[in-house]
Chains A and B, each alone.
Chain A
Amino acid sequence: MTQELKIGFLPLIDACLPILAQEHGFAEDEGVSLSFVRDMSWATVLDRLLYGHTDAAHLLAPLAIATTLGLGRPAQPLAAPFVLGLNGNAITLSNELAAKVLPADGAGADLGEPRAVGALLKAEALARKQAGNPLRFGVVHRHSSHNYMLRYWLAECGIRPDEDVEIITVAPPFSADSLMAKEIDGSCVGEPWNSIAVDRGAGQIVLATAQIWRRGVEKVLALREKRLDEIRPEVEALIRAMRKAGAHFIDPANWEVNARILARPEYCDAPHDLILRSISDRLVLRQNGPECAYPDFMFQHREAANFPWVSQAEWLYSQLVRWENMEYDSQSAQIAARVFRPNVYRSALKGTGDELPGASSKVEGSLSTPLATTAQEGSITLNQNTFFDGQSFDPDRLEAYILSQK
Chain B
Amino acid sequence: MQVLHLQKANAAVHQAGMRIVIIDESAARASIIEDGLRALDDCEIFTITSRDGLLAKVSEIGPDMVFMDLGNPSRDVLEEYFTVSRALDRPIAMFVDDSDDASIAASVDAGVSAYVVDGLAANRIRPLLETTLRRFNAFSRLQADLAEAQGKLAARETIDKAKRILMDGKGLSEPEAYAELRAKAMSSNRRIVTIAEAVVTAHDLMGDGT
Chain A positions near chain B (C-beta within 8 angstroms): 39-44, 47-48, 51-53, 71-74, 140-142, 168-171, 173-174
> Is B77 in contact with A72, judged by CB distance below 8 angstroms?
no
Q: Any chain A CB within 8 A of the CB of B1? A: no
- A170 vs B76: C-alpha distance when bound (angstroms): 8
With A169-B76, A169-B79 given, can you name 20 additional A-B contacts, CB distance below 8 Å? A40-B73, A41-B71, A41-B74, A44-B72, A44-B75, A44-B113, A48-B108, A51-B109, A52-B105, A72-B79, A72-B82, A72-B94, A74-B97, A74-B98, A142-B84, A168-B80, A169-B77, A171-B74, A171-B76, A174-B73
By a CB distance below 8 angstroms, the chain A residues around B210 are none
Is there an interface contact between B108 and A47, defined as CB atoms closer than 8 Å?
Answer: yes
Q: Is the interface of B mostly helix, strand, loop or mixed?
A: helix
- A-B pairs, top 6 by smallest CB distance, nearest first, are A40-B73, A43-B75, A74-B98, A169-B80, A51-B108, A41-B75
B55, closest chain A residue (CB): A168
- Contact of B104 with A by CB under 8 A: yes
Is the beta-carbon distance between A40 and B71 smaller than 8 angstroms?
Answer: yes
- B77→A170 contact, CB < 8 A: yes
Residues of B within 8 A of A71 (CB): 83
Task: Report B199 CB to chain A, min CB distance, Å.
Answer: 29
Residues of B within 8 A of A141 (CB): 76, 80
Give the Cβ gap from B94 to chain A, nearest Cβ, in Å: 5
Q: Does B70 contact A (CB under 8 A)?
A: yes
Give the docked Cα–Cα distance between A309 and B210 (Å). 62
Could you show 19 A-B contacts with beta carbons less than 8 Å apart?
A41-B73, A41-B75, A43-B76, A43-B79, A44-B72, A47-B108, A47-B113, A51-B105, A71-B83, A72-B79, A74-B97, A74-B98, A141-B80, A142-B79, A142-B80, A142-B84, A169-B80, A171-B74, A171-B76
The answer on a CB contact under 8 Å between A53 and B73 is: no
Chain B residues, Cβ within 8 Å of A44: 70-72, 75, 113
B48 on interface, CB distance cutoff 8 Å:
no
| Residues of B near any A CB (own CB < 8 A) | 70-77, 79-80, 82-84, 93-94, 97-98, 104-105, 108-109, 113
Write out the residue numbers on chain B whose beta carbons fall within 8 Å of the beta carbon of A168: 77, 80
Pick the contact of A41: B72, B84, B104, B108 (CB < 8 A).
Answer: B72
Also in contact, A47 and B73, with CB within 8 A (given A73-B94, A74-B98): no
Inter-chain contacts of A51 with B (CB < 8 A) = 104-105, 108-109
Which A-chain residue is minimally distant from B82 (CB atoms)?
A: A72
Q: Which listed residue (A41, A52, A53) contacts B76, Cβ 8 A?
A: A41
For residue B83, which residues in chain A have a CB less than 8 angstroms away from its CB? Answer: 71-72, 142
Expressed in whole angstroms, the Cα–Cα distance for A72 and B105 within the complex equals 18
Q: How far is the CA of A73 from the CA of B98 in the complex (A)?
A: 8
A300 to chain B, nearest CB (A): 24
A residues within 8 A CB of B109? 51, 53
- Nearest-Cβ distance from residue A69 to partner chain B, whole angstroms: 13
Closest chain A residue to B105, Cβ basis: A51
B78 to chain A, nearest CB (A): 8
Do B71 and A39 touch across chains, with their CB atoms under 8 A apart?
A: yes
* Distance from B37 Cβ to chain A, minimum over Cβ atoms (Å): 22
Residues of B near A41 (CB, < 8 A) are 71-76
Which residues of B are found within 8 Å of A173, using beta-carbon distances?
Answer: 73
Report yes or no: B70 in contact with A47, Cβ–Cβ below 8 A: yes
Q: How far is the CB of A383 from chain B (nearest CB, A)?
A: 33
Q: Considering the chains assembled together, what is the distance between the CA atoms of A47 and B84 in angstroms?
A: 20
Complexed CA–CA distance, A51 and B97 (Å): 15
Please report the C-alpha to C-alpha distance between residue A72 and residue B108 in the assembled complex, in whole angstroms.
Answer: 18
